Structure 1
């Protein structure tokens, strides 16, 4: 649907995006993740045409400008415009658009909120209003840049329920977020960006399988045994002993020799967030 072909972008002598190549597939929800400064916003700006690649090219199978809706990280509404007026304004921009019933269902606004100045809404309400205006023209492709910023937990849960419904409709969604649990739950595919370069591009479950380390959680009551006998490094945190290792089987054999009850331990794989920050440190 959309194709990045060896795209690079410089700001003066700084390489912000380095030979990025990836496809955005129709009907998929793709997450672009990385620490601050990794190049995420630059990729989005090139995708929507605010910036142009210095090398490589971006192509698509459809008219990006006409069929794309973008939710920016931050939008400031005019001081003296009401929610209803914003709705009416945006309906003038599109031939095919949300009607008032659909708009109210999406935002969950009542008549009182529709008549409020947009700037008087809460931060989360302003964000869902911004999203509703983003999809007012029923775009084929939706870009979300940190969409749940300013939302509380309840609003975030509702927002991703809405996105799930859009996925079922076959919409193509491309988003960035700092809430990595949103990536693991929602993304069909994850593109990991580090210092301008793509270091991984795969489905979340496969990326998690590539994580090298696991954490073995052992009850604190076994501390005296581990201090004397365990060969692996460990740390104590919140009344647990945490053994972080790439060789889980070896650690388990050590615990068995110490007569530690394996029914009392827990093994967790490093999260997607752990992987992302590990890659950033290694790159």
Structure 2
């Protein structure tokens, strides 16, 4: 477990991170999200030890913060102009006693032998990103920090990347990452930590966050519009194709549908998305 305890970081008399406390549990995948300028990168810099808090502390109970046990993927990385992919692999491999094999490296990056002969600086943005990730895990880290890991990746590469992360989760690795892609948070995170204006505004699981919001959306065909007059405490939006009923309590709505013999095959029910729930709760706190 890594324990972030009342951490504050001040730049130019401004609290960029303000009294933040949470835990990163061993073997879990924790997502750190928030708008631009929320303090995410500053918090990551303090966790990895590149910056030091003005107040508070970050401690671990089993030396997880030892640089030899950490893998770090920064938001941006610049490769030298004239170094080949295979040379980078050999260089990073020399830093560690126990490393992944060249076969594992090629499987993670999806690079063929000819790609290993290319200069890293000449790769596409997505290829450089997956290369950067593969280099970050060459030493088989136990704790992995990823800052916007899939930026510049196309959809196919992003799916491949998260398959690799899923395998690492199954191996019991501890993962802490930021992402602007909310679907990645819903899919991969065991816990979600939300920062806004340097303050912690939420720390929970994706499921608990979604279910803390009772709002439900129900779509019914326009041909069933007459049912609306029998419903109470709902809001209704009419589109070209359907009626969208929004309610805080779905039970009486469904009972009314059953009473009037609604065809449930024509009904679509959805909860608020994780993003909608998070941002609606953030607005309530501001």
Gaps of 5+ in 1: none
- Is the alpha carbon distance of 1:91 and 1:266 closer, same or farther for their aligned partners in structure 2, counting shifts above 3 Å? same
Question: Residue 242 of structure 1: SS of its match in structure 2?
Answer: strand
Question: Residue 128 of structure 1: CA displacement?
Answer: 0.8
Give, in angstroms, the shift of residue 223 of structure 1.
Answer: 4.6
Contact (CA 8 Å) 1:194, 1:279: kept in 2 or not?
Answer: no
The 1:25–1:225 alpha-carbon spacing in structure 2 relative to 1, beyond 3 Å, is closer
What RMSD in Å do the two structures reach over aligned CA positions? 2.2
- 1:123-162 paired onto structure 2 within 5 Å: 123-162=125-164
CA distance in 2, matches of 1:251, 1:225: 10
Which residue of structure 2 lines up, in the alignment, with residue 71 of structure 1? 73
1:224 Cα deviation after fit: 6.8
For the 8 Å contact 1:195–1:280, the answer to whether it is kept is: no
Question: How far apart are residue 262 of structure 1 and its match?
Answer: 4.4
Q: Secondary structure at the match of 1:93?
A: coil
Output the CA distance in 2 between the equivalents of 1:101 and 1:259. 60
Distance apart, 1:134 and its partner CA: 0.5
Mapped partners of 1:69, 1:280: distance in 2: 31
- Kindly provide the CA deviation profile for residues 152-187 of structure 1, in whole angstroms up to 9, marking residues without a partner as x: 111111111111111122211111111112122211
* Alignment check: 8 A CA contact 2:215 2:272 kept: yes
Per the alignment, residue 219 of structure 1 pairs with 221
Does the Cα contact within 8 Å between 2:201 and 2:282 map onto a contact in 1?
no
**TM-aligned CA distance change 1:261 to 1:104, over 3 Å:** closer
Structure 2 unmatched ranges of 5 or more: none
- 1:55 corresponding residue in structure 2: 55
In the alignment, what sits opposite 1:279? Answer: 281
2:31 matched to 1:31? Answer: yes
Q: Distance in 2 between matches of 1:234 and 1:9?
A: 46
Aligned residues: 282
* TM-score (normalizing by structure 1): 0.90
